C-alpha cells in the first residue's frame, strides 16, 4: 500500500479516538457512561444498532455467503429486519414502560425486576462471558484483516498479526474506556457511514468497472447466483431460529433501548436499523462476494473480499475501504466490550461488592472494568488461532439459555424465577455439549439438519414451562411484575 493509504488510515483511527476523548469530559455518572443519559436521538441509535449487528463478522461473512451462493445469501440479514421490527412492535413498548419507572441500565436489570436477583446474576454471567468472547473475536478478525493488507510489516520487527492486534486493541479499548456508550454510539454512526459509503459508493463502482461491467459478471457466474431461491428451506430456518432471538436477549440492544428518551424514539431507531440491514447492507455484501468469486474462484470464501480490496483498488481508495472494514469490526468490538463491562459492574460489583459508590467512583470503576475486560479480550484473541468456534459456542449458549425465560418474562405471568434459572442453565449447557460433541444426538435426529440452538431452545422451553406449572412460587414472580410486562404496556412519557 502507498504512503497516502497509511496516512488516511491513521487519520481515521485518530478521529474515532478523538470522539472518545470528547465524551470523556461529558460523562458524570454511570447512567451517562452506560446508557448515554437516556437522551440519544433515534438516527444515531439506529445506525449504531446496525453497525454493531452487521459488524465485522457479518460484513465479512456476507461476502463469504455471496461467494458461495450468490444473491440468496442476502437472506442472512433478512433475520435482522425481522428481529428489529418484531422488537419494535412487541418488546420496546413494554421495556420502555418499566424503564421509565425503574431506570434500568442492563439486560439483567430487566430479569431482576421480573424474576429475582438469582436469575439476573446467572444472566449476567452468561451475557458477560459471551460478549467477552465476541470482543476477542472481533479484535482477532481485525488483526487478520490488517496484517494481510495495511499492516503487513512494522518498524518493530513484530509478527504482523500481533502488531495489528495491539494497534486495534489500543484504539478500540481506548475510546470505549474513556467515552462510554455515547462514544460507542456516535463512533458507530460515523463508522457505519464509512462502511456503507466505502462499500456502496467506492468498492462496488470500482470493482464493476474493472471487471468489465455487469454483463461480464453475469456471464462469469452460475445462473443460480442471481436468484433469491438458491437456498434450502432448512438453511433459511436455521438462520431465522438462531439469529432472530438475539434481538430479545442482547445486552447491547437493551443498552440502546434505555439510551432512547421514549418509546417512539426507540421504535424509530429499530425501524431504521432493520431497513439498513435488509435490503441495503444485505445485497451490498453478497454482491461484493460474488465479484470476489469471479476474480478468485479457488480462494477461501471469506478471504475473497479482503483479497479484492487489496488487489483491485487504486491508491487512496484502498485505505477508505479498509477503514470501512475496520469500522465494522470496531463497531461490534466496542459494543460487546461495553456490554460485558456493564454486566460486570452494574450487575455484580456494584450490587454485591461495592454498594454505595458515589457517581464519580462509579464512573471510574466502570472505566477500569472496561479496560480490564478489554485486556482479557486481547489475551483471549492471542490465545486462539481462530475464535470462530468460540463465537459459535458463546452465541448458541446465550440464545439457548436466555431466549425462552426472557420471552416468558414479557408474555407469560405464570413463569417463575426457579423455572427461569433451570431453563437458562439447561438450555445453554445442552447447546454447549452438543456443539462441543461431548454429547451426540441419535443419528436420525442429526440427519434432520436443525442447528444445535434449536434443541437448546426446545429443552429450555420444556424446563421453563414444566417447572413453572409443577412448582409455582408463592407469591409468584409474575404476580409481582408490573402490567407493562404482562402485555398491558403504557407508553412512558418523555
**Residue 357 Cα distances to 36, 142, 314, 427, angstroms:** 19, 36, 54, 36
According to the model, what pLDDT value does residue 84 have?
95
Question: Residue 339: CB partners within 8 Å, gap ≥ 6?
Answer: 127, 128, 131, 250, 251, 252, 255
Q: Which three cell numbers stand for residue 312?
A: 483491485
Distance CA 311, CA 317 (A): 11
Sequence-separated (6 or more) residues with CB below 8 Å from residue 58: 76, 77, 281, 285, 328
Go through the chain and tell me how many residues it has: 494
Strand (E) or helix (H) holding 260: none
| pTM for this prediction | 0.80
Q: Which residues contact 227 (CB under 8 A, 6 or more apart)?
A: 70, 71, 72
DSSP code at position 212: T
Placement of cell 456471464 in the chain: 219
**Cell numbers at 56, concatenated:** 465485522
The CA distance from 302 to 281, in Å, is 17
3-class SS string, 167-187 = HHHHHHHHHHHHHHHHHHHHH
Fold for 3-388, please state it: Sodium/glucose cotransporter (1.20.1730)
**Residue segments in the chain with a per-residue pLDDT below the cut of 70:** 1-2, 16-17, 19-21, 23-37, 55-60, 148, 150, 152, 154, 175-184, 191, 324, 327-328, 331, 359, 384-393, 474-494
Between CA 338 and CA 180 the distance in angstroms is 7
103: cell is 431506570
Task: Output the pLDDT for position 335.
Answer: 73
Place of cell 464512573: 363
Percent of the chain past pLDDT 90, that is, above it, reads 33
- Provide the total of helices (H) and of strands (E) in the chain, helices listed first: 23, 0
Q: Are 267 and 88 in contact (CB under 8 A)?
A: yes
Q: Give the model's pLDDT for residue 492.
A: 41
Amino acid at each position: 500500500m502507498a504512503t497516502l493509504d497509511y496516512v488516511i488510515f491513521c487519520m481515521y483511527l485518530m478521529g474515532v479516538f478523538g470522539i472518545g476523548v470528547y465524551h470523556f469530559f461529558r460523562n458524570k455518572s454511570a447512567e451517562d457512561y452506560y446508557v448515554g443519559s437516556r437522551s440519544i436521538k433515534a438516527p444515531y441509535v439506529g445506525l449504531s444498532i446496525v453497525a454493531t449487528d452487521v459488524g465485522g463478522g457479518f460484513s465479512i461473512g456476507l461476502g463469504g455467503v455471496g461467494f458461495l451462493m450468490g444473491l440468496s445469501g442476502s437472506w442472512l440479514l433478512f433475520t435482522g429486519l425481522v428481529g428489529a421490527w418484531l422488537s419494535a412492535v412487541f418488546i420496546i413498548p413494554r421495556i420502555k414502560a418499566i424503564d421509565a419507572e425503574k431506570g434500568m441500565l442492563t439486560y439483567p436489570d430487566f430479569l431482576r425486576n421480573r424474576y429475582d436477583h438469582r436469575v439476573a446474576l446467572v444472566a449476567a454471567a452468561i451475557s458477560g462471558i459471551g460478549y467477552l468472547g465476541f470482543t476477542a473475536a472481533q479484535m482477532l478478525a481485525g488483526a487478520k484483516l490488517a496484517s494481510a493488507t495495511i499492516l503487513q510489516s512494522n518498524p518493530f520487527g513484530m509478527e504482523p498479526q500481533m502488531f495489528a492486534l495491539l494497534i486495534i486493541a489500543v484504539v478500540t479499548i481506548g475510546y470505549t474506556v474513556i467515552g462510554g456508550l455515547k462514544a460507542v454510539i456516535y463512533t458507530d454512526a460515523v463508522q457505519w457511514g464509512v462502511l456503507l459509503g466505502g462499500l456502496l459508493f467506492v468498492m462496488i463502482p470500482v470493482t464493476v468497472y474493472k471487471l468489465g461491467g455487469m454483463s461480464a459478471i453475469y456471464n462469469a457466474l452460475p445462473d443460480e447466483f442471481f436468484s433469491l431461491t438458491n437456498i434450502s428451506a432448512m438453511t433459511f430456518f436455521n438462520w431465522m431460529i438462531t439469529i432472530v432471538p438475539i434481538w430479545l436477549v442482547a445486552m447491547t440492544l437493551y443498552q440502546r433501548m434505555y439510551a432512547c428518551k421514549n418509546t417512539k424514539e426507540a421504535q424509530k431507531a429499530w425501524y431504521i436499523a432493520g431497513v439498513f440491514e435488509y435490503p441495503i447492507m444485505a445485497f451490498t455484501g453478497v454482491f461484493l462476494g460474488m465479484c470476489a468469486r469471479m476474480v478468485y474462484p479457488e480462494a477461501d470464501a471469506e478471504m475473497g473480499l479482503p483479497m479484492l480490496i487489496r488487489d483491485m483498488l487504486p491508491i487512496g481508495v484502498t485505505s477508505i475501504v479498509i477503514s470501512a472494514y475496520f469500522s465494522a469490526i470496531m463497531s461490534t468490538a466496542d459494543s460487546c466490550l461495553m456490554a460485558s463491562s456493564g454486566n460486570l459492574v452494574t450487575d455484580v460489583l456494584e450490587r454485591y461488592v461495592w454498594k454505595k459508590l458515589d457517581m464519580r467512583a462509579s464512573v471510574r470503576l466502570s472505566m477500569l472494568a472496561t479496560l480490564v475486560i478489554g485486556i482479557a479480550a486481547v489475551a483471549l484473541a492471542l490465545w486462539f488461532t481462530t475464535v470462530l468456534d468460540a463465537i459459535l459456542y458463546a452465541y448458541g449458549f446465550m440464545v439457548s439459555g436466555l431466549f425462552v425465560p426472557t420471552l416468558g418474562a414479557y408474555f407469560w405471568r405464570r413463569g417463575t424465577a426457579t423455572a427461569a434459572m433451570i431453563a437458562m442453565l439447561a438450555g445453554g449447557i445442552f447447546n454447549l455439549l452438543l456443539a462441543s460433541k461431548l454429547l451426540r444426538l441419535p443419528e436420525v435426529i442429526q440427519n434432520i439438519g436443525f442447528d444445535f440452538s434449536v434443541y437448546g431452545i426446545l429443552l429450555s422451553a420444556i424446563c421453563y414451562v414444566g417447572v413453572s406449572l409443577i412448582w409455582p412460587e408463592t407469591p409468584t414472580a409474575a404476580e409481582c411484575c408490573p402490567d407493562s410486562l404482562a402485555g398491558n404496556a403504557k407508553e412512558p412519557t418523555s
